[in-house]
Amino acid sequence: METTKLPPSSPSSPTTSFSVPSAEKVDGFPRRSMRRARQRRSHSSSQFRYQSSQVELTPLPLLKDAPVAELHDLFCKKLQQCCVLFDFLDCVADLKGKEIKRAALNELVESVATSRGVLIEPLYPEAIKMISVNIFRTLPPSENPEFDPEEDEPTLEASWPHLQLVYEFFLRFLESPDFQPSMAKRYIDQKFVLQLLELFDSEDPREREYLKTILHRVYGKLLGLRAYIRKQINNIFLRFIYETEHFNGVAELLEILGSIINGFALPLKAEHKQFLVRVLIPLHTAKSLSIFHAQLAYCVVQFMEKDATVTEYIIRGLLKYWPKTCTQKEVMFLGEIEEILDVIEPSQFIRIQEPLFKQIAACISSPHFQVAERALYFWNNEYILSLIEENCQVILPLVFATLYRVSKEHWNQTIVSLIYNVLKTFMEMNSKLFDDLTASYKVEKQKEMKRERERADLWRGLEEYQERRTQMLTEAARNQRNLQERGERGDPLSPSSPQTAQSDQPEPKPSGASTGAGESAT
């Protein structure tokens, strides 16, 4: 196999150059991912299997000029032409061939989109073959091993000029009024679908966008594949959650699932409820939750709207997986809880209000101001307020102490204002309950202060006792020595000797004296 020429390693390489807007620069320097994108080496491309014997493409007559009898044959030939792959990493190679293929693809797209009677049976296998050959490839490993989907620019697919047309063709093919699912299902089989799903891991968002729409149509029209598709999506998600934590297409797959969940028949099948509990809720634990959280939350809320009995599972699940150290995720979770509460049924609310509001109280006392703010803002939601009002007797005691304490301690003034709003709201709801809680809170505080004082007194007493003891011991030791010395010198013992008289009554040191010396005596 001949080696492919490396592209000129200049920053202005046409395949990879793009001007770096100033917003992408950190401290005036382009981000790391930008710099690395300049030089793409061919061995990291999925198109490395470069055909050595390159087929020369000869331009065929235009479809619109073809007589009806030859139309389908020409169509087939063009499809076959488009099965030839080109290397886009080398931007100067085979320009003629690339253009021929591009024009052919364009024609095919136009033809399928506009003409009727084009899609006859023999074309189906050819079309699917062309599509398979072009799109099914092993995705290259990421250029940037530390690719952060939120921060970094994705690596775009080099052969997009052709690939985009192939996807467009596929989409029009599926959406054509002449499309026959019964015919297509022979060629769009489980193997095909599995490969299609694997492509969702592409880093190129444009590709994923097409795949999303295409899979959506496939699911809609090929009923026989639905269960298989659902199963494979489950597998992808489970692998993502528990094994790799890497998959670029979670958001797109969730969007498709959203439209599927929306269409669930009632009563909900057990399979679907299990999917919710075993896959959707654990998805919340992913580190890259922010990429797909909007779609995930939508799916969760759709489930609730279909069948209110799953509410308890959802909320308990979220509480179980509540983020403990990532405040960005906590804010997302709070947003999701608000969306859930917006559609919750009052009878379900009662079942989860206690654990939920305990968690909300914990969020209010979070030192991160965004978490506290988001939690407090729930009280600005009219429907949630009406739920709280109905269950004021249960909820107010859960949050009261936290609100009061945080209002005195929090560093952020906005939070203090919001707490005032919440307290005032509660006061207006039920002033007697509020007064009772205030009174008992004050009593608790008094008890606590009393306990603190007693504790401090106890320690002080112990320290004083310690001091007295030390002093007694040192006095006693000194006396002992004196007696010994006198004994040696032969002096008579004098009971009125000032030293011994003193040692009989050890004076208590005044409290508050340093206790540094005291410790050593014990």
> CB under 8 A: which stretch of 101-109, 239-247, 349-357, 388-396 binds another protein?
388-396
Task: Report if residue 71 touches another protein, rule: CB under 8 A.
Answer: no
Output 151 or 491, the one with its CB closest to another protein: 151
Confirm or reject binding of residue 466 to another protein (CB under 8 A): no
Distance in Å, CB of 116 to another protein, minimum: 23
Site string for another protein, 334-363 (x = CB under 8 A): -xx--x------------------------
Q: Which is nearer to another protein, 156 or 385 (CB)?
A: 385
Q: What is the distance between the terminal CA atoms of the chain, rounded to a whole angstrom?
A: 87
Applying CB under 8 A, which part among 44-52, 97-105, 331-339, 356-364 lies near another protein?
331-339
User: If 0-12 CB within 10 Å is exposed, 13-18 middle and 19+ buried, where does residue 315 land?
Assistant: buried
- If the CB atoms of residues 115 and 412 are measured against another protein, the closer one turns out to be 412
| Tokens read off for 399 | 């949050």
Q: Contacts from 371-377 at CB under 8 Å and sequence distance 24+?
A: 371/327, 371/330, 371/331, 371/334, 372/406, 372/410, 372/412, 372/415, 372/418, 373/414, 373/415, 373/418, 374/331, 374/334, 374/335, 375/334, 376/415, 376/418, 376/419, 376/421, 376/422, 377/338, 377/418
- Work out whether 212 is an interface residue with another protein (CB under 8 A): yes
Residue 278 touches another protein, criterion: CB under 8 A: yes
Query: Whats the size of the chain, residue-wise?
Result: 522
235 touches 193 (CB < 8 A): no
Rounded to whole angstroms, the Cα distance separating 232 from 193 reads: 9
In a 13 Å sphere around the CA of 346, the CA atoms on its Cβ side amount to 8
Kindly state the smallest distance separating residue 97's Cβ from another protein, in Å. Answer: 36
> Which listed residue (207, 255, 464, 475) binds another protein by CB under 8 A?
255
The Cα diameter of the chain in Å comes to 145
Q: Which of 17, 180, 431, 484 binds another protein (CB under 8 A)?
A: 431
Q: Which of residues 482-511 bind another protein (CB under 8 A)?
A: none
Of the residues 48, 147, 228, 321, which one makes contact with another protein according to CB under 8 A: 228
Which tokens go with 157? 């697919």
Q: Which of these segments, 48-56, 57-65, 369-377, 478-486, binds another protein (CB under 8 A)?
A: 369-377
Q: Report the C-alpha dihedral over residues 39, 41, 44, 47, rounded to 10 degrees.
A: 110
Q: Which is nearer to another protein, 138 or 417 (CB)?
A: 417
> Least distance from C-beta 427 to another protein, angstroms?
6
Contact 469, 503 (CB under 8 A): no
Contact region with another protein (CB under 8 A), list: 41-49, 140-148, 169-177, 217-225: 217-225
Residue numbers 49-68 binding another protein by CB under 8 A: none
Which span sits near another protein by CB under 8 A: 142-150, 223-231, 356-364, 455-463? 223-231
Measured from the CB atom, is 420 or 465 closer to another protein?
420
**Alpha-carbon span 243 to 130, nearest angstrom:** 34
288 is an interface residue for another protein by CB under 8 A: no
Show contacts with another protein in window 389-428 (CB under 8 A): 389-390, 392-393, 407-408, 413-414, 416-418, 420-421, 423-428
Question: Among residues 234, 288, 474, 479, which is the contact residue for another protein, using CB under 8 A?
Answer: 234
Restricting to residues 167-206, name those near another protein by CB under 8 A. Answer: 190
Q: Is residue 263 involved in binding another protein (CB under 8 A)?
A: yes
Contact 232, 194 (CB under 8 A): yes
Please state, as a whole number, how many other Cβ atoms lie within 10 Å of the Cβ of residue 109. Answer: 20
Helix spans in 176-263 (H) = 181-184, 190-198, 205-221, 226-239, 250-262
Q: CB nearer to another protein: give 104 or 229.
A: 229
**Segment contacting another protein by CB under 8 A, of 134-142, 220-228, 479-487, 510-518:** 220-228
From the CB of 184, what's the least distance to another protein, in Å? Answer: 14
Cβ proximity to another protein: between 107 and 336 the closer is: 336
Residues 292-321 that bind another protein (CB under 8 A): 293-294, 297-298, 313, 316-317
Q: Which is nearer to another protein, 200 or 426 (CB)?
A: 426
Q: For strands 25-26 and 29-30, give the pairing.
A: antiparallel
Peptide bond into 267 cis (omega under 30): yes
Tell which residue, 399, 392, 387, 375, has the closest CA to residue 431: 392
Interaction of residue 9 with another protein, rule CB under 8 A: no
